[in-house]
Amino acid sequence: MKKVQLNPVGWMSQLSQVEVAQLQDSTHSDLYDMFRNCCLAVLNSGVDEDNFEVLFAPYDDFDVKLIRRERGVKIELINPPEVAFVDGKLVHGVHEHLFAVLRDLLYMGNKYAFLHQTAPVDGPSTTDMVFDMLRHAKALEGNDELNTIVCWGGHSINLNEYKYTKEVGYQLGLREMNICTGCGPGAMKGPMKGAAIGHAKQRYKKGRYIGISEPSIIAAEPPNAIVNELIIMPDIEKRLEAFVRIAHGIVIFPGGVGTAEELLYLLGILMNERNAQQPFPVILTGPAGSEGYFEAIDEFIGATLGEAAQSKYQIIVDDPPEVARTLRADMEKVNKYRRAMGDAFSFNWSLKIDPPFQRPFVPTHKTMGALALHQDQNVADLAVVLREAFSGIVAGNVKAEGIRQIKEHGPFSLTGDPDLMTRIDGLLKSFVAQQRMKLPGSEYKPCYTISRGK
């Protein structure tokens, strides 16, 4: 049995004894399984495998313990994957990531007891909590130069699209912008890789490659090799909020239903009339040949949320320098607005996010079945519901818990307004046709059925 003990780094290297005691207590909680799994995912950083079952299979005998010492806490790895070690020594970046997992899951988890929390939390305190987590992760300290670009997109895009994400990242890097993504492969890795080259050419030493994950997704999307700051938000809604509050601009690459979920979340917020004055650069972009994705999405949004929603983003096809130039130019507006508001550069406090966007949505057959999928409501409410629908489909596709439910009870059933359901069906089918629902090569078996209500 191989054992490796790790000294704490970062915030976790300075804990009070009461904090250490709480951490150790938490090892008996059900948080602990999640902690163990996230550690295992992190130890597989950079491994090209997004099926968590395949990834985890060889590591049945892996375990992780917390060792309490007078001075604080150590992590002990039992039978960790060899891939994380170089000549018997844990790779430094992975070491940092493991303590990020400890910090975000157990330490912050103790502080807020927020996990598995499905009851609505009132607005301000969710935001304060998101802020506090980013602050502890030191993600805000270097974030005051208006250069954090959040990139969303699929984790299994084709090679042409992947190269394009690298090229956009390169152009952003040349303009000394940093990259924040969801932390996995594909469109989450390409922009970081490109930016790293751009930063090197500009001798820019402060390159940040921030990965924001959450416990149920990190196993399917372990941090890629470039991520140098890892943050694990407790659930998908807080992860989304972290993205939009840390971002100075957002680029959306082709992706699947997860990417659509992110876009719907974002549009729902930006359409809030209290955010009407907020300059918030959003660019949808992809290489020549990927126009189909954006056309389908754009058409769907036009038909459901309307032109107002469409006005919130700009589509740029096959022009990486233009993407980067546009964002760089938009920073001036962001700068002016934040100054006028007295808002921070590092965290967008002035963006209003209404409670429905913060409320954790736990997809089950019941909650999915109950979604109010009709257009007889205002567009912000519709955006919420659509976001939730797509979120459930992501869960059914790739998350352990979702897959388990589907296996047990069959596909989720979505019911609603016939016209809307037709549009949803059309969009999802276009994703299937473009092979965006699963890894290329495998055939996609839907985790949902669409029923057109009367």
Name the one range near a copy of itself by CB under 8 A: 198-206, 270-278, 365-373, 390-398. 198-206
Mapped onto helix, strand or coil, the DSSP state of residue 335 is: helix
Q: Which of 55, 66, 77, 94 binds a copy of itself (CB under 8 A)?
A: 94
Q: Which DSSP helix (H) or strand (E) runs through 355? A: helix 355-358
C-alpha Rg value of the chain to the nearest Å: 21
Mapped onto helix, strand or coil, the DSSP state of residue 316 is: strand
Q: Minimum distance from CB of 374 to a copy of itself (Å)?
A: 36
* Cα distance between residue 208 and residue 223, in whole Å: 14
Name which of 34 and 101 has its Cβ closer to a copy of itself: 101
Name which of 328 and 387 has its Cβ closer to a copy of itself: 328
* Cα distance between residue 424 and residue 338, in whole Å: 37
* Cα distance between residue 399 and residue 384, in whole Å: 21
Residues numbered 150 to 189 that lie near a copy of itself (CB under 8 A) are 171, 174-175
Question: Rounded to the nearest 5°, which phi and psi values hold at 16?
Answer: -80, 165
* Cα distance between residue 272 and residue 426, in whole Å: 27
DSSP state of 256: -
Concatenated DSSP letters of 15-54: --HHHHHHHHHGGGSTHHHHHHHHHHHHHTTT-----HHH
Structure tokens at 262: 């992110």
Q: Is 441 in the site for a copy of itself (CB under 8 A)?
A: no
Name which of 78 and 340 has its Cβ closer to a copy of itself: 340
CA-nearest of 100, 50, 132, 351 to 210 is: 100
Residues numbered 335 to 394 that lie near a copy of itself (CB under 8 A) are 338, 341-347, 349-350
Name the one range near a copy of itself by CB under 8 A: 32-40, 130-138, 242-250, 266-274. 130-138
Q: Are 219 and 52 in contact (CB under 8 A)?
A: yes
Q: Minimum distance from CB of 393 to a copy of itself (Å)?
A: 34
- Binding string, residues 227-266; x marks residues near a copy of itself by CB under 8 A: -x--------------------------------------
Q: Is 25 in the site for a copy of itself (CB under 8 A)?
A: no
Q: Is 225 in the site for a copy of itself (CB under 8 A)?
A: yes
Q: Is 132 in the site for a copy of itself (CB under 8 A)?
A: yes
* Cα distance between residue 13 and residue 265, in whole Å: 36
DSSP state of 279: -
**Which stretches within 116-274 are classed as H helix?**
123-136, 159-174, 190-201, 215-218, 236-246, 257-270
**Distances, alpha carbon 88 to alpha carbons 77, 84, 91, in Å:** 13, 9, 9
Name which of 15 and 217 has its Cβ closer to a copy of itself: 15
Name the one range near a copy of itself by CB under 8 A: 91-99, 148-156, 161-169, 395-403. 91-99
Q: Minimum distance from CB of 272 to a copy of itself (Å)?
A: 17
Q: Is 319 in the site for a copy of itself (CB under 8 A)?
A: no
| Residue 285, beta-bridge partner list | 316
Q: Which of 30, 48, 61, 87 binds a copy of itself (CB under 8 A)?
A: 87
Name which of 342 and 441 has its Cβ closer to a copy of itself: 342
Name the one range near a copy of itself by CB under 8 A: 111-119, 120-128, 273-281, 367-375. 120-128
Contacting positions for a copy of itself (CB under 8 A): 14, 16-19, 45-46, 69-72, 86-87, 91-94, 96, 124-125, 127-128, 131-132, 135, 140-141, 171, 174-175, 196-197, 200-205, 225-226, 228, 325, 328, 338, 341-347, 349-350
